[in-house]
Amino acid sequence: MAFMKRSPWILHYDASSCNGCDIEVLACLTPLYDVERFGIINTGNPKHADVLLITGGINAQNREVVENIYEQIPEPKVVIAVGACAATGGIFRECYNIIGGIDKVIPVDVYIPGCAARPEQIIDGVVAALSILEEKRAKMNGAAQETEQAGEST
Amino acid sequence: MTVKEEQTIIGVALENLLSEVGKLYADGYRLVQIGCTDIGDSYEVNYSFDKGYQFINLRLTLRPETEVPSITGTYWGAFVYENEMHDLFGIPVTGINIDFKGTFIRTAEKYPLSVTKRGGDRCQNV
Amino acid sequence: MSERIIVPFGPQHPVLPEPIHIDLVLEDETVVEAIPSIGYIHRGLEQLVQKREYTEYVYVAERICGICSFIHALCYSQGIEHIMEVEVPDRARYLRTIWSECSRLHSHLLWLGLFADSMGFENLFMRSWQLRESVLDVFEDTTGGRIIQGTCKIGGVRRDIEQEKLDEMHRTLDPFEEKCRDLGDVFLNDETVKYRLQGLGVISKDEAYALGAAGPTARASGVAMDHRETGYAAYGDLGFKPVVETAGDCYARCAVRVKEVYASIDLIRKAIEGMPDGAIDVKVKGTPNGEFFSRAEQPRGEVVHYLKANGTKHLARARIRTPTLANIPPLVKMLPGAQLADVPVVVLSIDPCISCTER
């Protein structure tokens, strides 16, 4: 992994997973995998977060919660769907209360496969998401500069 | 060796439910669970009790929309099962100590396991 | 009299890995009433029995919860085996016991970590989870999966553990137990832990029994009830005794789980030593017809799978009552009297597993 410029903060939300992926996300923070050495910090506050990491599929009740959390995260932001359920609904896709994957409600940037997703895969996914985050940031900065220049020329 | 435990299932009429439950409580049984089963056009409701790994079931058979009295007067903790019974099956339970009135388990459609919903494919994303 | 206010707790809360919502009615800092509401992760998988054949549903049952996964699959399989009168080979019974106890180990270590985190004891959280990784390594080595194993099936198990591997596991148990005892020593004897936990969220023996408490929550109040005593799988051969505490507070609930970690290690040791030779599964023919309330002891308490079959490939009904659902009424009784700052500790002390509860 290349040198990382920033310290990304992650917000984790359990949509309707079986807990398996959530536990693996938490396992990433603990001594064996220890993502904190990359400066990645797990936060509970959406306004502090850069990355939204969601496990499990969307159901009727948590749909609004997920939308709400997504809205609260400041731009630029990336969304990671962890596990088969977050991607498509997985083994539960045919249940009456499951609407489907996370992308039915909010845009997803990275999908991490697996049932349950392994900590190594989750770390890989987060690293992939960080480069997307950098791109989004560059684009935002570029757009801001352009409007500034446009403002000066008139 | 598979599990070889005796399980007794006793049919009970709706009007005797509370007195039968009261007898089991006095005998020192604990409430294990309340669960419903859809049997065609009516429901089977199982009230399961246990004492020293002896398992007793009281079984009610109900037509849809029949009101069931709450047993929370005897077993305070039964409210979780009775709310669940109401939210998933649409069986009205009267006199629950903590009545969530349909908000204990919120589902996309009302009473997803109700017998009146039978027929249509309720599973999504197939 | 001071004013009453309602503080919503959850669903997205830093201390909760899973969403549960509790409305706390407070008088100053003290809780006077707690009203839980669930449903954020309700999936409705009981109904999947209509879509999946009875042999396939084992894998759905396993995914009711990613922590108690193996024991859910075991409980379901035992229920079907009882209905179909299938006799499981001895080696399969022992292998199931080993995996069940590994499950319990990883669940309890996980819980100890989260519980330490809820007290603000970060270092202890990390140490518990570090130890837990060695249990997951055993799972990965013997089943291929870390938390979802997929080894249990109707009629036995899908994978054998070779003798070499069993010997290796047996050798690593002693050093592992030593580390667990070091960790357990902190939970049981540390002054700050005692200060936070003793006398908090007390529930008496009679109350716990009447409210239908299950597992460590009941055992911490002195109710000696553990479904492993009935001797399913190989527990009957291994001489099992439940761990019981009497104080009924958060400290007692913690102590029960610490001591169950030691007990599980002991059970695994005995199961490896007594491992019989032979087949690991029997062929299951036909379809089930009948009903059974299958019960097993999960890390969180007694789980009930009610299975009703009608002679076709699809079950007519599966109803799953998980231990956390049974432990919600005791929780509602434990919270009043606690300070707001202690609420996360009390909530975690029942080891809530919301994915299980809501299915």
pLDDT digits (tens), chain C, 359 positions = 567 888 777 766 656 666 677 888 888 888 888 887 776 677 777 777 777 788 888 888 888 887 888 888 888 888 888 888 888 888 888 998 999 999 899 889 988 988 888 888 888 888 888 888 888 888 888 888 888 888 888 888 888 888 888 888 888 888 999 999 988 988 898 888 888 888 888 888 888 888 888 888 889 888 888 888 887 888 888 888 888 888 888 899 999 999 999 999 989 998 898 888 888 888 888 888 888 888 888 888 888 888 888 888 888 788 888 888 888 888 888 888 888 888 888 888 888 877 777 77
List residues bridging with B48 in a β-sheet: B33, B57
Touching chains, B (3+ CB pairs < 8 A): A, C
B38 to chain C: nearest residue by CA?
A: C317
The tokens describing C126, both together, are 């990390």
Q: Domain residues of chain B, as ranges?
A: 7-108
- The owner of tokens 């009429």 is B13
List residues bridging with B105 in a β-sheet: none
List residues bridging with B33 in a β-sheet: B48
Among residues B58, B4, B3, the alpha carbon closest in space to that of B27 is found at: B58
Determine the pLDDT at residue B106.
67
- The owner of tokens 């929370």 is B72
Please state the ipTM of this predicted complex: 0.78
Q: Where are the beta strands (DSSP E) in C234-316?
A: 289-298, 301-310
C191 phi, psi to nearest 5 deg: -65, -40
Alpha-carbon distance A131 to nearest alpha carbon in chain C (angstroms): 26
Helix C90-118 × helix C69-84 angle, to 10°:
150
Determine the pLDDT at residue C258.
92
* CA dist C150 → B73, C77, C98 (Å): 42, 12, 14
Contact B106 C329 (CB under 8 A): no
List residues bridging with C306 in a β-sheet: C293, C319
Query: Which stretches within C297-342 are classed as H helix?
Result: 323-334
Distance CA C208, CA C212 (A): 6
Q: Check if the beta carbon of residue B48 is closer than 8 Å to that of residue B57.
A: yes
* CA dist C332 → B16, C32, C345 (Å): 29, 10, 14
Name residue C159's amino acid: R
* CA dist A152 → A44, A138, A147, A149 (Å): 41, 21, 9, 5
Interface residue ranges in chain B relative to chain A, Cβ cutoff 8 Å: 106-109, 112, 122-126
Determine the pLDDT at residue B124.
43
Q: Check if the beta carbon of residue C223 is closer than 8 Å to that of residue C252.
A: no
Distance CA B25, CA B30 (A): 7
Name residue B4's amino acid: K
Choose among B3, B5, B107: nearest Cβ to C44.
B107
Neighbours of C314 (CB within 10 A): 16
- The owner of tokens 């137990």 is C177
The reported pTM is 0.84
Choose among A16, A31, A56: nearest Cβ to C130.
A31
Name residue C355's amino acid: S
The per-residue DSSP string of C56-99 comes to: THHHHHHTT-SSSHHHHHHHHHHHHHHHHTPPPPHHHHHHHHHH
Contact B123 A95 (CB under 8 A): yes
**Domains along the sequence of chain A with CATH:** 9-153 (3.40.50.12280)
Distance CA B88, CA B102 (A): 9
**Low-confidence residues of chain A, pLDDT below 50?**
1
A57 phi, psi to nearest 5 deg: -90, 175
**Low-confidence residues of chain B, pLDDT below 50?**
1-3, 118-126
Q: Domain residues of chain C, as ranges?
A: 4-347
- Cβ contacts from B onto C, under 8 A: 105
Touching chains, C (3+ CB pairs < 8 A): A, B
A56 phi, psi to nearest 5 deg: 85, 165
Contact B113 C46 (CB under 8 A): yes
Is the Cβ of B10 closer than 8 Å to some Cβ of chain C?
no
Q: Check if the beta carbon of residue C252 is closer than 8 Å to that of residue C221.
A: yes
Query: Which stretches within chain C are classed as H helix?
Result: 57-62, 69-84, 90-118, 122-143, 163-189, 191-197, 205-210, 215-219, 235-238, 250-273, 323-334, 343-349, 354-358
Architecture of domain B7-108 in this structure: 2-Layer Sandwich (3.30)
- DSSP letter assigned to residue C304: E
Q: How buried is A136 (Cβ within 10 angstroms: 0-12 exposed, 13-18 middle, 19+ buried)?
A: middle
Q: Check if the beta carbon of residue B122 is closer than 8 Å to that of residue B112.
A: yes
Determine the pLDDT at residue B123.
46
Distance CA C115, CA C81 (A): 37
Determine the pLDDT at residue B119.
43
Q: Which CATH number fits domain C4-347: 1.10.150.120, 3.30.830.10, 1.10.645.10, 3.90.1150.10?
A: 1.10.645.10
What strands lie across the sheet with C317-321, from one edge to the other?
C289-298, C301-310, C317-321
B106 to chain C: nearest residue by CA?
A: C39
Determine the pLDDT at residue B20.
84
